[in-house]
Amino acid sequence: MFLASRNFCCRGIKLRTDLLSRSIKHSTSATMPFRHKNTRRIEGLDSNVWVEFTKVAADPSIVNLGQGLPDISPPSYVKEELAKVAAVDRLNQYTRGFGHPSLVKALSQVYEKVCGRKIDPLTDILVTVGAYGSLFSTIQALIEEGDEVIIIEPFYDCYEPMVKMAGAKPVFIPLRCKKDGNSASSADWVLDPAELANKFNSKTKAIILNTPHNPIGKVFTLEELQVIADLCIKHDTLCISDEVYEWLVYKGNKHIKIATLPGMWERTVTIGSAGKTYSVTGWKLGWSIGPEHLIKHLQVVHQNTLYTCPTPLQEALAQAFWTDYKRMDDPECYFYSLSRELESKRDRMAQLLKGAGLKPVIPDGGYFMIVDVSTLNVDLSDVDEKLPYDYKFVKWMIASKKLSAIPLSAFCALETKKHFEKYIRFCFIKKDSTLDAAEVILKNWNKQ
């Protein structure tokens, strides 16, 4: 293809008049096959479930319980900090690349307290554009062609394309419902230890852990983390621990950081998110915390990708963290008060769903809830055959009930979609009026 166009070019250039060469330039650009395709690293990574579903959600007549963004207000002191910062001149200019000094200092204090170990703000922390940016920096820094990366299904959808973009092979292992398909709680979903052990081999560079888990809301127990840790140590594997929902754990549950288990600090990168911690997803600030010998490579990626994160947002976040650091032993600390607020929304949501004949899986953490919709027996066999049931169900629900959710198979690899297609995911970090509107729809569900 390219050769043919080159010949065309050469023939054109032999002719001398300006006019002719100009018209040939025009026609070569019109007829020359466009050779500038995407690079190999992004081959097949162009589609994205959110692009489709967020378009739908933009319709204001639809009650949106799909995408994970709060429609509640961030706490007022957080907004005030940003307003204060906006007035300070020098905070409109570049700050330290790897993280604004006051922010990394605040993060190190908070996490020292949580982890019970010294964390150096300059070498053990990298501030990134959201936890998304931390996942990207970690994977680009430490994963390459020839590596395998274990991903637990269902998974936050970006893990798979990011691993592929790094040239590595994702290896999937599903959470399985131990109650024979009759799940009432996120704790029913577990990994089979023997199955997990079989996924590890000499090529396994890392395992991605997400706890509390999106979409199921599972909070991995100490025993479950120990199983993973033992395998990581045995096979000298890294652990990428996505803990963005770390503060959102409900009564009877405790968030445990796998990095605090013996032998794990040196091989774990733990990822956090301001968006989830302070209900400010639009600030797009996240962080990676870990040992210097791993974080330094993330810093190299960062300095070659975007260099610095926005200054004013980092300063405001630092101030918010200081406020809550000082009251970490007080139940009024936002880390705990948000969790209490969400627990009652969780419970309300669960009740409404049950009332409509649906079967929710009560999450132990996070702000998502998966729901078994097969009980309703909605016949969608006449709709597009190729789509999994849950996609069809969500589309039908949006059109006929004006309520949106996300199909669970969006969080699964191709082979596993069938196992999860009776579930859809609802987000419940929504203000009361949104939940009221959802209530109306769910109460009237069977009347239509």
Partner 1 sequence: FFFHSLQAKMSRPVQARRLEGVDKNIWVEFVKLAATYSKVNLGQGFPDFPAPDFLREALMGALSGGNHMLHQYTRAFGHPPLVKVLAQFFEKLLGRDLDPMTNVMVTVGAYQALFCCFQALVDEGDEVIIIEPFFDCYEPMVKMAGGTPVFVPLRPNPPKDGKLMSSADWQLDPAELASKFSERTKAIVLNSPNNPLGKVFSRGELGLIAELCVKHDVLCISDEVYEWLVYDGKQHIRIASLQGMWERTVIIGSAGKTFSATGWKVGWVVGPDRLLQHLRTVHQNSVYHCATIAQEAVAQGFQRELMLYGKPESYFVQLPKELQQKRDWLVQSLDGVGMKPIIPEGTYFLVADISPFKSDVPDVPNSDEPYDSRFAKWMVKNKGLAAIPLSAFYSEAHKNNYTNFIRFCFAKEEATLKAASDILQKWKQEKTS
Interface stretch with partner 1, choices 72-80, 169-177, 325-333, 346-354 (CB under 8 A): 72-80
Q: Which is nearer to partner 1, 96 or 176 (CB)?
A: 96
Q: Does residue 11 touch partner 1 according to CB under 8 A?
A: no
Q: Which is nearer to partner 1, 48 or 400 (CB)?
A: 48
Q: Does residue 282 touch partner 1 according to CB under 8 A?
A: yes
Q: Does residue 292 touch partner 1 according to CB under 8 A?
A: no
- Planar angle of CA 138, 142, 145, nearest 5 degrees: 120
Query: How many other C-beta atoms lie within 10 A of the C-beta of residue 315?
Result: 22
Among 53, 64, 65, 95, the residue binding partner 1 under the rule CB under 8 A is 95
Interface stretch with partner 1, choices 71-79, 219-227, 409-417, 432-440 (CB under 8 A): 71-79
Among 17, 29, 61, 448, the residue binding partner 1 under the rule CB under 8 A is 29
Q: Output the DSSP codes for 44-86.
A: T----HHHHHHHHHT-TTSEE-SSS---SPPPHHHHHHHHHHH
Footprint on residues 99-118 left by partner 1 (CB under 8 A): none
Q: How far is CA 120 from CA 102, 111, 135, 218, 274, in A?
A: 13, 10, 20, 30, 19
Q: Is 36 exposed, middle or buried (0-12, 13-18, 19+ CB in 10 A)?
A: exposed
Q: Does residue 312 touch partner 1 according to CB under 8 A?
A: yes
Interface stretch with partner 1, choices 68-76, 220-228, 323-331, 369-377 (CB under 8 A): 68-76
- Could you tell me how many residues make up the chain? 448
Footprint on residues 43-62 left by partner 1 (CB under 8 A): 45-46, 48, 50-51, 54
Q: Does residue 448 touch partner 1 according to CB under 8 A?
A: no
- Burial state string for 236-245 with b = 16 or more CB within 10 A and e = fewer than 16: ebbbbbbbbb
Q: Which is nearer to partner 1, 142 or 371 (CB)?
A: 142
Query: For residue 251, what are the contacts with CB-CB under 8 A and spacing of at least 6?
Result: 343
> Which helix H or strand E contains 443, and what residues bound it?
helix 432-443
Closest distance to partner 1 from the beta carbon of 434 (Å)? 12
Reading the block at residue 19, the tokens are 């006019």
CA 40 to chain centre: 24
Footprint on residues 382-421 left by partner 1 (CB under 8 A): none
Query: How many other C-beta atoms lie within 10 A of the C-beta of residue 321?
Result: 23
Q: Which is nearer to partner 1, 5 or 260 (CB)?
A: 5
Query: For residue 16, what are the contacts with CB-CB under 8 A and spacing of at least 6?
Result: none
Among 305, 351, 375, 433, the residue binding partner 1 under the rule CB under 8 A is 305
Closest distance to partner 1 from the beta carbon of 139 (Å)? 9
Interface stretch with partner 1, choices 108-116, 137-145, 340-348, 439-447 (CB under 8 A): 137-145
Binding mask 210-239 for partner 1 (x = CB under 8 A): -------------------------xx-x-
Q: Output the DSSP codes for 308-353.
A: ---HHHHHHHHHHHHHHHHTTTSTTSHHHHHHHHHHHHHHHHHHHH
Among 202, 377, 381, 448, the residue binding partner 1 under the rule CB under 8 A is 202
Q: Write the single-letter amino acid at 174.
A: P
Q: Does residue 90 touch partner 1 according to CB under 8 A?
A: yes
Q: Does residue 13 touch partner 1 according to CB under 8 A?
A: yes
Reading the block at residue 317, the tokens are 């976040």
Among candidate residues 428, 424, 425, the one with its CA nearest the CA of residue 345? 428
Among 4, 11, 20, 22, the residue binding partner 1 under the rule CB under 8 A is 22
Among 111, 136, 220, 335, the residue binding partner 1 under the rule CB under 8 A is 136
Closest distance to partner 1 from the beta carbon of 85 (Å)? 9
